[in-house]
Amino acid sequence: EYGVLQPIVVTRKEFDLPTGQGVEYELLAGERRLRAAKAIGLPHIPAIIRGETSDKVKLELALVENLQREDLNPLEKARAFRRLVDEFGMRQVDIGAKIGKSREVVANTLRLLNLPEDMQQAVAAGAITEGHTRPLLMLVDHQEDQLALYQNIVASNLSVREAELKARNIARERARAALDPETRILQEKLEDVLGTRVHIERKGVKGKISIEFFSDEELKAISE
């Protein structure tokens, strides 16, 4: 009824002909709008005409335009972000500014590419959600645990929250196993005395102790 509301973007190219000068227009952004307009027989649509544009700028414009689509899956976005970083030297904050997202959103999406290929494909196919990738990425340095958690998510249809709890427990047990025997005994003693989970992290002779609580009552009891 109203035609194309958002102009497509084209570049104008002039070239010499025996009879004079010819002009061509190359589409940079708006392929789906152009196809839809042709499909319903619109004779004209609005367009923004850019001057001569390098192939590099054309690709950047096409990638940014493509990222505006709502039907892209998270993995397609991650791969587009990676191309903008690798081929155009763009920083994550610059990518975010171009597509109206925060740097953190761009960074978290790029982290999907650190997952094994089968897990990436599961995200692309919708077998697991982008939220499920957060606990999987927590185990990126422990491939066997990561694979076991992934299989558990798929087989048991775990929620994101359930997967995060399992990933934390796995990471905690890994850290516990990495402690020297004397420190591990001290950690277990603290857990017995305080009645909650305790984590000791050592860096040489220094370190820190983390004490978990799950309610105001537990916090009060630990304090007392």
CA 42 to chain centre: 38
Report the C-alpha dihedral over residues 99, 102, 105, 108, rounded to 10 degrees: 120
CA 41 to chain centre: 39
Catalytic option among 14, 24, 26, 31: 31
1: buried, middle or exposed (CB in 10 Å: 19+, 13-18, 0-12)? exposed
The answer to whether 31 is a known catalytic residue is yes
Residue 30 to residues 55, 56, 109, Cα–Cα distance (Å): 17, 18, 24
Scored b (16 or more CB within 10 A) or e, 105-131 reads: bbebbbebeebeeebbebbbeeebebe
Torsional sign, CA 110, 115, 117, 119? negative
Provide the annotated active-site residues.
31
